[in-house]
Structure 1
Amino acid sequence: MANLARDIPLEAAVPPYRARDFFLARQPILDRRQELFAYELLFRAAAAGPANVTNDLSATASVIAHAAELGMSNVIGSSLGFINVNAEVLLSDFIHFLPKDRVVLEILETVEVDERIIARVEELAAAGFAIALDDVVAESPNVQKLLPLADIIKVDISGMSDEHVASLGRKFKQAGKRLLAEKVETQEQFQHCLDHEFDYFQGYYFARPTILAGRRLTPSQIAIMRLMTQLASNAELSAIERGIKQDASLGMSLLRLVNAPSAGVTEQIHSLGHALKLLGRQQIHRWLQILLYAESDKSRCAASPLLALATTRGRLLELIAETIRPGDTGMAGTAFTVGILSLMDALFGLPMEEIVRQLSVDDEVRHALLDGSGIYGDMLRLAQCIEKIDNACPQLTPLLDKLGISSEQLYALQVSAFEWSDAVSGGVN
């Protein structure tokens, strides 16, 4: 089959976007067991205001063209990456800069499907690219034309009745397609799609707190929170070691974590006492926070994606603090704590007020978590802002200006946080 790519120079096809021109949103896609399957990646123009799809896709095209600079593995780890493509990107030769075994080409619903598009998608599928159809809400003519070539159908369930979701699911399942429900915002929506044989789920339903009356923490969670409180109150290391030894699984988990390459320790740690002395209070406090996610009730849905999201937030806030206040390790540690704690209401099914009370955090952390105020609240809102993949965040530029960092710096910090989080999450699962 002839190559259908447009024979135009890369410089002419791709606007000169650089890291300073966009930021990256990364949203998890989970499977039926609520384990991480992939990430959708979206590169948004850094300018303030409503999302500009043209600019977003230009930024995406530029990133594709400079994939070596991006370092795809640094952004998605060992997972797949879903990337939006329009007709211009589909028909351009620079799409081959993407690693075909690591990405899913997500064809936007706005693409007008003609014979040239069909032939090009056939060519890309034959070359080994997986194909997804994006934002499907009905069996449109465009969908029907590409359906035989698609591996995954993404159904946008927002504003859709349960009956419509079920009907679409049945039809596409009968066509032998895998189904991905996107914009899943509640546990009820997730369960409905699960009941109707959807394979994958996208949306922050797993990170939204579902407050359950009478919910209790597990013994390991209680032990970890007690140790965190001891650390905060400057208890003797010997007392903290005794507390860790009371829970064998906790001790093993902590040793496994601190021996992982991501911990940055240059020598093997063989005992809890050794770990405490070598790492110090701040590092032990950090790993206990991470262990709250890793040691959560194994039957609880989406603990692993929450761990990935929480560690990404924690590390990103820490890096932001290090950027704006170099050398201030106390501020960096507090920023990390705010990021990690910000999802514990979702993890535990408890109100954030109760989490904050049990942990006896200081006022700055409390205000950041409960009302988003103060410099740590600004950092947290920035992290939450760039996690949103469906809508541009008008607060982005004002928050960057307030914190005194550029979008170029933010992009570099994001990639670093993703890489660190993926290493940590892989080490505790």
Structure 2
Amino acid sequence: MVSSASTTTEDVYLGRQPILDRNQSLYAFELLFRAGRENHADIIDNIAATSAVIAHTLSEFGIEAVLGRYVGFINCDASFLQSDVIELLPPDRIVLEILETTVADEAILKRCTELKRKGFRLALDDFQGINSKNRGFLDLVDIIKVDIRGLSRQRLKDAMAQIMKRDALFLAEKVETKDEFNYCLDLGFNLYQGYFFSKAERVSGKRFTTAQTAIIQLLTMVQGDSDVNKIVEAFKQNPTLSVGLLRLTNSASVGLRHVVTSIQSAVVLLGHKQLQRWLLLLLMAHGSTRKGRQTVLIHQAAGRAKFMELMALSNKAWAPYSESAFITGIVSVMEALLGMEAETLVESLGLMPEVRDALVERKGVLGDLLNLVEAIEQDNTSKVAELVGTKVKGGYEPLVQAQGQTIAWVNQIIDAGI
């Protein structure tokens, strides 16, 4: 943990890690407040700094923008649990995650009971078995988090046996592989946190589906500046894609003031540039039979794409790459969703050489931007600090601004049911 009270709120950026349910659908976000000047930055443990950072971050982004329709987990030590800052947080939107270093003494238990009465949900972090520190919390908490990286499978099974009959949800943390996810499913975990859902599942000889092939044909037409009437006719030959196009066109993220009801109007209003973007999202929407994982990955792709575009636009030297940055962000997630190698996707989609270099070799401006967004997602604060220090003009300010706009934009896509 960081113990620097001198960390300023201007150096803080937001980490947002998804928490999924058993169907791999989005359940909540864990909010991570990161101090950019430190090599590693968990929630700042000085109470004044912690309060300032959370207040600044939530006011900078807005709680509705940060969470959308979901709830947020916030790490709390003993000092923060006792602070008045918690009273500023909306209890119906926030889960207070009690850190494993917090001792369940009389004062803390009394405070937790009070917070429960106010409507907050409580989570116990890093449970590895019942001990003198955490025993008192078990009858109060709504969610028990287990860091599976710190336990052998036998110890994990033993820990679950101790709590299985309790009236709480069980969250498996740091789940990295499909095998780990399936094992935790069998043990009875309700919620999952980690990067297992974004790992590619390679399928040898996998081919595009009929719908995906139709989308790629449309992409080829759009990238080749084909006549609008030909593009419209191609859409009309596939009613499913036509419905998807209209839904995307009428989402708040496009910003149109009236409802579009015809394919021709949608194609004309979007234009070739925007149409290419939406076709890539539609390609992902036809990428998996598992709806929950598919939806989370589409939102991840949209977030990467928008963040990379905005970061490119924040720097005059990078601005010419803004459109390629958006496309790179989307395609970087397609690899996981479609189970295909990056080079296969680049070739199939007819993408620019700089996009291929970024996806396959992490080269160039686009490679740097992709590395940055992945480091933020993976909570690799040292890598973020390195890239901001050496690559990003303006330090953390453009990063924070891009994050705020990106989160709001992705929430609009979520609200549109995409």
Tell me the TM-score normalized by structure 1. Answer: 0.91
**Counterpart-to-counterpart distance in 2, 1:292 and 1:405:** 35
Aligned match of 2:410: 421
CA deviation after TM superposition for structure 1 residue 48, in Å: 4.4
CA deviation after TM superposition for structure 1 residue 56, in Å: 8.9
Aligned match of 2:294: 303
Aligned match of 2:189: 198
Distance 1:82 1:57, change over 3 A: farther
Aligned match of 1:22: 12
Aligned match of 1:346: 336
2:32 to 32, 42, 57: 42
1:72 to 63, 70, 80: 63
**Counterpart-to-counterpart distance in 2, 1:262 and 1:95:** 32
Q: Which amino acid aligns with 1:26?
A: R
1:377 to 361, 364, 367: 367
Describe the SS at the equivalent of 2:104: coil
CA deviation after TM superposition for structure 1 residue 16, in Å: 7.6
Q: 8 Å contact 1:42–1:83 — kept in the other structure?
A: yes
**Counterpart-to-counterpart distance in 2, 1:240 and 1:15:** 58
Q: Which amino acid aligns with 1:287?
A: W
Stretches of structure 1 that go unaligned for 5 or more consecutive residues are 1-13
2:398 to 392, 409, 416: 409
Deviation track 1:194-245 (CA, whole Å, cap 9, x = no partner) reads 1111110001111111112243333222221221222223222222222222
Distance 1:384 1:58, change over 3 A: farther
Q: Which amino acid aligns with 2:417?
A: V
**Counterpart-to-counterpart distance in 2, 1:350 and 1:327:** 29
**Counterpart-to-counterpart distance in 2, 1:34 and 1:16:** 40
Describe the SS at the equivalent of 1:136: coil
Q: 8 Å contact 2:44–2:50 — kept in the other structure?
A: no
Describe the SS at the equivalent of 1:39: strand
Q: 8 Å contact 1:74–1:419 — kept in the other structure?
A: yes
Q: Does 1:31 align with 2:21?
A: yes
- Residue range with higher mean Cα deviation, 347-356 or 74-83: 347-356
- Residue range with higher mean Cα deviation, 338-347 or 269-278: 269-278
Distance 1:287 1:428, change over 3 A: farther
2:219 to 218, 228, 232: 228
Q: Give the structure, 1 or 2, with the largest relative contact order (CA under 8 Å, sep 6 or more).
A: 1
Aligned match of 1:247: 238
CA deviation after TM superposition for structure 1 residue 103, in Å: 0.6
Q: Does 1:122 align with 2:113?
A: yes
RMSD: 2.2
**Counterpart-to-counterpart distance in 1, 2:29 and 2:42:** 21
- Residue range with higher mean Cα deviation, 311-320 or 391-400: 391-400
Deviation track 1:255-280 (CA, whole Å, cap 9, x = no partner) reads 11101122112333221111111211
CA deviation after TM superposition for structure 1 residue 398, in Å: 3.3
Q: 8 Å contact 2:32–2:42 — kept in the other structure?
A: no
Q: Does 1:272 align with 2:263?
A: yes
Q: Does 1:149 align with 2:140?
A: yes
CA deviation after TM superposition for structure 1 residue 173, in Å: 1.9
**Counterpart-to-counterpart distance in 1, 2:293 and 2:310:** 26
Q: Does 1:181 align with 2:172?
A: yes
Q: Which amino acid aligns with 1:142?
A: K
Identity %: 37
- Between Structure 1 and Structure 2, how many residues are aligned? 414
Stretches of structure 2 that go unaligned for 5 or more consecutive residues are none
Describe the SS at the equivalent of 2:31: strand
Aligned match of 1:4: none
Aligned match of 2:160: 169
Q: Does 1:98 align with 2:98?
A: no
Q: Which amino acid aligns with 1:415?
A: G
2:353 to 337, 356, 363: 363
Q: 8 Å contact 2:92–2:120 — kept in the other structure?
A: yes
Q: 8 Å contact 2:39–2:385 — kept in the other structure?
A: no
Deviation track 1:389-424 (CA, whole Å, cap 9, x = no partner) reads 3x4233434335413132122112102101101111
Distance 1:420 1:21, change over 3 A: same
Describe the SS at the equivalent of 1:142: coil
Q: 8 Å contact 1:293–1:304 — kept in the other structure?
A: no
Q: 8 Å contact 1:311–1:339 — kept in the other structure?
A: yes
Q: 8 Å contact 2:32–2:43 — kept in the other structure?
A: no
Aligned match of 2:383: 394
- Residue range with higher mean Cα deviation, 258-267 or 80-89: 258-267
Distance 1:357 1:394, change over 3 A: same
Tell me the TM-score normalized by structure 2. Answer: 0.93
Q: Which amino acid aligns with 1:137?
A: Q
**Counterpart-to-counterpart distance in 2, 1:96 and 1:35:** 30
Q: 8 Å contact 1:385–1:396 — kept in the other structure?
A: no
CA deviation after TM superposition for structure 1 residue 377, in Å: 0.8
